[in-house]
């Protein structure tokens, strides 16, 4: 499978615990994005990497959230001290090098987080 | 702030109908617009991307149009099938940013 992969697919945790999600983009895609989607809503942007540089962050990305892409390949999203409001689907997307005009984003299957 | 709207939120039709899904956006300074399909509990599948300089794109039974000046896009689905049942989302890449700004989606049900 050459698409975007995410791990784990589902995560159930207790309030206050830390969780970490992983995203592997399509090979040779240098752009990587994280979005969050709650029930009945469209995805909301969290952060964007070009290679290993984090170039854009949403105000939604509070101090409890941190994302990394250390070698410009896979990325991790960590949520510290989880809250019930963090329950959502976390989606990762990637896109190839090139002008934004042609920038088609391809999404992974998502990680469903449930905070009890 | 860019806002994307999709109306109606849900649509139920009999099989075989030709459909038009609507999307509107408030700021016309976009790089492109993408239409996605999402099945329940799944990720998003990209259907079509229209660059800001283009008027339409076609893929199989799907045709998407873009009128940037009026802030509107439509997705046309020909001869709908039960397998087309899903939530359809449109999203734009805003000028000066890399992020997609999404509408809430439209849930389509095609009845056999």
Give the residue from chain A lying closest to B29, CA to CA. Answer: A101
Q: Is A42 close to B44, i.e. CB distance below 8 A?
A: no
pLDDT tens column, A7-58: 999 999 999 999 999 999 999 899 999 999 999 999 999 999 999 999 999 9
How far apart CA B24 and CA B16 sit, in angstroms, is: 26
Residue-averaged pLDDT of chain A = 93
> Each residue of B28-48: pLDDT tens digit?
999 999 999 999 989 999 999
What is the DSSP pairing of strand A111-115 with strand A106-107? Answer: unpaired
Q: Do residues A93 and A106 touch, judged by C-beta distance below 8 A?
A: yes
Given an 8 Å threshold on Cβ–Cβ distance, is A110 in contact with B36? Answer: no
Per-residue confidence at A1, pLDDT binned at 50, 70, 90?
A: low
Q: How far apart are CA B52 and CA B44, in angstroms?
A: 22
Mean pLDDT within B52-59 = 93
User: Residue B54's pLDDT is what?
Assistant: 92
| Beta pairing class for A53-57 and B30-38 | unpaired
- Mind listing the pLDDT tens digit for each residue in B74-112? 999 999 999 999 999 999 998 888 899 999 999 999 999
Return d(Cα A21, Cα A37) in angstroms, integer.
15
Task: Please name which of A71, A80, A62, A106 lies closest in space to residue A21, comparing C-alpha atoms.
Answer: A80
**Mean pLDDT across B1-14:** 95
Contacts of A48 in chain B (CB under 8 A): 98-99
**Residues in A touching B98 (Cβ below 8 Å):** 31, 33, 48, 50, 55-56, 100, 103
Residues of chain A with C-beta less than 8 angstroms from the C-beta of B35: none
Could you read off the pLDDT of A66-80 as tens digits, one per residue? 999 998 899 999 999
User: How close does chain A come to B14, measured CA to CA in Å?
Assistant: 24
């Amino acid at each position: 499978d050459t698409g975007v992969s995410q791990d784990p697919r589902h995560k159930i945790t207790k309030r206050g615990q830390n969780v970490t999600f992983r995203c592997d983009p399509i090979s040779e895609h240098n752009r990587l994005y994280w979005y969050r989607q709650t029930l009945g809503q469209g995805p909301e942007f969290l952060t964007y990497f070009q290679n290993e540089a984090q170039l854009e962050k949403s105000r939604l990305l509070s101090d409890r959230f941190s994302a990394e892409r250390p070698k410009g390949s896979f990325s991790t999203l960590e949520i510290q001290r989880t809250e019930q409001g963090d329950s959502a689907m976390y989606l990762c997307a990637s896109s190839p090098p090139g002008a934004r005009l042609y920038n088609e984003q391809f999404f992974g299957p998502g990680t469903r987080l449930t905070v009890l | 702030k860019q806002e994307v709207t999709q109306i109606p939120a849900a649509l139920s039709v009999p099989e075989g109908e030709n459909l038009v899904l609507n999307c509107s956006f408030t700021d016309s300074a976009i790089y492109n617009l993408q239409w996605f399909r999402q099945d329940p509990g799944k990720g998003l599948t990209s259907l079509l991307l229209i660059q800001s300089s283009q008027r339409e794109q076609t893929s199989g039974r799907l045709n998407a149009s873009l009128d940037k000046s009026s802030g509107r896009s439509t997705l046309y689905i020909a001869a709908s099938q039960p397998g087309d049942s899903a939530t359809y989302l449109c999203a734009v890449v805003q000028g000066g940013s890399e992020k997609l700004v999404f509408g809430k989606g439209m849930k389509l049900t095609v009845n056999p």
